Amino acid sequence: MNIKVAKFGGSSLCDASQFQKVKKIIEKDPERKFIVPSAPGKRHREDIKITDLLYLCHAQVSHHVPFNEIFKVISERFLHIAKELSVTVDLHAILQDIQDHIGSGASLDYVASRGEYLNGIILSHYLGCQFLDAAEVIMFHKNGSIDLQETQKRIAPYLDDDQKYVIPGFYGSLPDKSLKIFPRGGSDITGAVVSKSVSASIYENWTDVSGFLVTDPSIIPNCKPIETITYRELRELSYMGAKVLHEETIFPVLEAGIPINVKNTNDPENPGTMIVSYREPINSTGSITGIAGRKDFTVLAIEKNLMKNDISFVRKLLSTLENHQIRFEHTPSGIDSLSLVIKSSELNGKLDKLIEDIHVHCKPDLLEVHPNMALVATVGHGMAYTPGISAKLFTALYESGVNVRMIDQGSSEINIIVGVENKDFEKAVTAIYNAFVK
């Protein structure tokens, strides 16, 4: 029998009524054998995710401030879900144990992971499935990278029975048995790691939208969904800010070619989006796959006459960044000019010294700092080979009055990135969407 892995995000498990939808989905398909839950997410716009409350608990304890009030909110949320679902597991004892551990200075990774752990326990009881603690099966190397071989070995004993298993998302264990979490949003990565480890026929990622949409629905309401997208396109879009899937999700499933199906827990019959290794390139109708972007970058624009003749210039510039431990995103360049696009958060408290050091080591003729920039990526497999795409994109931006401050097609032929001012970000996304999709 094929094995399917089904990951349910925090929005799919935010309250008892969402759990009921999840149960129907799991019961509908016997192949859905491994279920990966996140912690309860937001029930409405102003709500707070359980994971955020757990981070807050840890911060309170590290500042020697009482955390009991916040922990009470967390406990009540889980107890309420369990009560509404008539789940009889003794949550009080488990919650007390967690509270004691947090109070005695448990690690951030332990504290942050408890939302998935508790949700996993409730979900497994509610579904009548086995609970498989991620601490026992999702294994990391000492250096913090995922140990796929060991994970596969640990999950192997559970493959051939007729049980279904709930494995909480977001965390696993280091070789010394301490807990380690993935980056925020990382339950998606757990789902991919489990899929790879069990050679799943498909990795279903259940969320609150009907698949990967062409762009962020908070900018374009009723945005069109993407039917099929390649891993590479997805990687570009999620790296550039499309929130649905964590940007590292594809790596475990990429080599094995396991398709990811993004589906909507609130509309389970909708086919959602299939993420696959290959699809036909976009054709001469000039369509695109998606648009994503982020605000708050700073561009350092550097000019130096005969820059290309100074063979050590780029090395000196990048060494200066390295000395300050600053990561950059893009480096569009011209004959005698080069720009560094850096997340503004990377520069906090470091900008003045960085500029001083660039002047000392690289001696540029001109160095300008442009803060408050946003990047907008338009992504589509085969875009570079399709005449007219750039013209359409830049015409749309021009006609909307968006001032394009930077262009970067990079070496990947599936992406055109433009830099605009933060204030023009939504306008730029809307202009591109209307030109290509509407």
Ligand X SMILES: N[C@@H](CC(=O)OP(=O)(O)O)C(=O)O
Ligand Y SMILES: Nc1ncnc2c1ncn2[C@@H]1O[C@H](COP(=O)(O)OP(=O)(O)O)[C@@H](O)[C@H]1O
- Rounded to whole angstroms, the Cα distance separating 64 from 72 reads 17
Taking only Cα atoms into account, the Rg of the chain, rounded to an integer number of angstroms, comes to: 24
∠ Cα 253 386 212 (to 5°): 35
Q: Tell me: does residue 9 bind ligand X (CB under 6 A).
A: yes
243 labelled binding-site residue: yes
Give me the half-sphere count of Cα atoms (radius 13 Å) on the Cβ side of residue 220.
23
Residue with smallest beta-carbon separation from ligand X: 10
Of 184, 247, 203, 157, nearest in space to 36 by CA: 203
Nearer to ligand Y, 293 or 332 (CB): 293
Contact 243, 45 (CB under 8 A): no
Of 192, 216, 193, 218, nearest in space to 204 by CA: 192
Q: How far is the CB of 123 from ligand Y (least distance, A)?
A: 14
Name the one range near ligand Y by CB under 6 A: 142-150, 215-223, 324-332, 395-403: 215-223
Q: Tell me: does residue 209 bind ligand Y (CB under 6 A).
A: yes
- Give the burial class of 258: count Cβ atoms within 10 A of its Cβ; 0-12 exposed, 13-18 middle, 19 or more buried: buried
| Coil vs helix vs strand at 416 | strand
Nearer to ligand Y, 10 or 168 (CB): 10
User: Among 11, 18, 173, 415, which residue interacts with ligand Y (rule: CB under 6 A)?
Assistant: 11
Q: Tell me: does residue 37 bind ligand X (CB under 6 A).
A: no
User: Among 35, 213, 402, 416, which residue interacts with ligand Y (rule: CB under 6 A)?
Assistant: 213
Binding string, residues 223-242; x marks residues near ligand Y by CB under 6 A = -------------------x
Q: Tell me: does residue 432 bind ligand Y (CB under 6 A).
A: no
Q: Tell me: does residue 243 bind ligand Y (CB under 6 A).
A: yes
Contact 147, 155 (CB under 8 A): no
Considering only residues 142 through 201, tell me which ones interact with ligand Y, judged by CB under 6 A. 185
Neighbours of 341 (CB within 10 A): 21
Known binding site for ATP: residues? 7-10, 207-208, 243-244
The residues that touch ligand Y, with contacts defined as CB under 6 A, are 9-12, 38, 41, 185, 207-209, 212-213, 215-218, 242-244
The residues that touch ligand X, with contacts defined as CB under 6 A, are 9-10, 38-39, 41, 49, 51, 115, 169-170, 184-188
Known binding site for substrate: residues? 51, 116
